[in-house]
Amino acid sequence: MKILVKAPAKINLALDVLHKRNDGYHEVEMIMTTIDLADRLELSLLEQNQIHIISQNRYVPDDQRNLAYQAAQILKDRFGIKQGVAISIEKTIPVAAGLAGGSSDAAAALRGLNKLWNLGLSLDELAEIGSEIGSDVSFCVYGGTALAKGRGEQIKELPAPPTCWVILAKPFIGVSTADVYRRLDVNAVTHPNIGAMVDALHHSDYQAVCRNVGNVLEDVTLNLHPEVAQIKDQMKRFGADAVLMSGSGPTVFGLVQHDSRMHRIYNGLRGFCDQVFAVRMLGDRNKLD
């Protein structure tokens, strides 16, 4: 028996860090939305009681470091499952890019294994389990658009953003999320207006969405990697309505509504960057599987 699951990337329309907590995590407020750029996972039952990860991408670990492996392991431990599984990951989302690729693979593995092993768990239960794997996994279990609080695991659903194109450009560098958080000084940053972004989404106001994008981690990564600032400048120059780094970077995304401008930005950036994509937002939860 085989199950195919889609694992879409996310972007942060807004990302704020409030303070560092006593448990070492940062208290965050993030507005996330899934985009139509996805890995594909194929899950198949194995005779042997093993978890087997298969991926052609050399940056994707094929052992217990893989977040999809960890998802399978947690379910096996918690529900005493003796069946094995082979998880084949066809990677499209750039790795270590600020697009939650690993977290989304883990979330897709949880959704798929819930079916493959007939566990009958709700999305809320899967999201709760996902939060033990990583802070972004809970959001990725639901997909769509949401405000994430706490260390990212408290999810409140939001309306889909107004229709637009998302152009993503990733320079040829990887960024360590832990390193960026370590270097962040929450008292020395401009905080995005999360409330204004929530209102913009409720009013489906594209201009207000564009005005209120913001990410407190941006300056940290920009200081470490000046090429990220160059990509931001290029996108603005080519006419993007809003430009922001996603997560801890280094991927930069631009928003536009007009097809012609999307093509101009996409073609203009292709010469500069390792990976460039132009995709739609998925927006709603029900667009997931």
In this structure, the dihedral spanned by the alpha carbons of residues 253, 143, 208 and 239, taken in order and rounded to 10 degrees, is 20
Is 68:40 a contact under the CB 8 Å cutoff? no
Is 136 marked active-site?
Answer: yes
| Residue indicated by tokens 């802070």 | 135
Is 140:106 a contact under the CB 8 Å cutoff? yes
Backbone angles phi, psi at 210, to 5 degrees: -65, -40
CB of 107 to ligand ATP, least distance (A): 10
Among 16, 39, 136, 241, the active-site one is 136
The alpha helices in the chain, defined as continuous H runs, are: 67-79, 101-116, 123-130, 137-142, 177-183, 194-202, 206-211, 218-224, 226-237, 259-270
CA 194/CA 198 separation, integer angstroms: 6
Q: Does 171 bind ligand ATP (CB under 6 A)?
A: no
Q: Which stretch binds ligand ATP (CB under 6 A): 13-21, 101-109, 181-189, 270-278?
A: 101-109
Among 6, 10, 76, 232, the active-site one is 10
Q: Which of 248, 254, 276, 281 binds ligand ATP (CB under 6 A)?
A: 248
Q: Which stretch binds ligand ATP (CB under 6 A): 58-66, 119-127, 265-273, 279-287?
A: 58-66
CA 193/CA 211 separation, integer angstroms: 10
Q: Which stretch binds ligand ATP (CB under 6 A): 64-72, 116-124, 185-193, 255-263?
A: 64-72
Q: Does 235 bind ligand ATP (CB under 6 A)?
A: no
CB of 247 to ligand ATP, least distance (A): 4
Q: Does 61 bind ligand ATP (CB under 6 A)?
A: yes
- Which secondary-structure segment (H or E) carries 10? strand 2-20
Is 156 marked active-site?
Answer: no
Q: Which stretch binds ligand ATP (CB under 6 A): 97-105, 161-169, 184-192, 200-208?
A: 97-105
Q: Does 100 bind ligand ATP (CB under 6 A)?
A: yes
CA 289/CA 287 separation, integer angstroms: 6
How many residues touch ligand ATP (CB under 6 A)?
21
User: Could you list the active site residues?
Assistant: 10, 136
Question: Which residues contact ligand ATP (rule: CB under 6 A)?
Answer: 60-61, 65-68, 89, 95-103, 105, 136, 177, 247-248
